[in-house]
Amino acid sequence: MRHQARQKQIEKQFGLGRPPISFESHGYKMVAVGPEVHWSTSWNTFPDFLMSYFKNVMGKQWGEAQLAKSRDQWHPLFTWYAMTFEHQKMSLQLLDNQSQFR
């Protein structure tokens, strides 16, 4: 019963794909992607890892080439990345503003 509940929770969070394999050790967050292990001290959430991973996989040149284009010519994945970045930035600003009133 407990196993089924956990499976439902994972499915709700990550869909029908395999759930992420991640852990924390000595201040590092580590995430396994296929046969590779990625780590950082700057990831606070799984979306932080995804943004970093996307940037590394696509490469600096590809990102710079996208930025050189007008926004309406961006690749759909780059548009998603930019929108996610903007959302994270706005969320952090909101949190910052809220913490000033405490």
pLDDT digits (tens, 9 = 90+) for 16-67: 877 788 999 999 999 999 899 999 999 988 889 999 999 999 999 999 999 9
82-96 mean pLDDT: 90
Which residues, including other chains, have CB under 8 Å from residue 49's CB and lie 6 or more apart? 22, 29, 31, 38, 40, 43
How does residue 86 score in pLDDT terms, banded at 50, 70 and 90? very high
Report phi then psi at 25, rounded to 5. -155, 130
pLDDT value of position 53: 96
Angle at 24 between CA 20 and CA 27, to 5 degrees: 145
Evaluate whether 49 touches 43 at the Cβ level (below 8 Å): yes
The residue with greater pLDDT, 74 or 9, is 74
Instruction: Look at the pTM and tell me if it is higher than 0.75.
Output: no
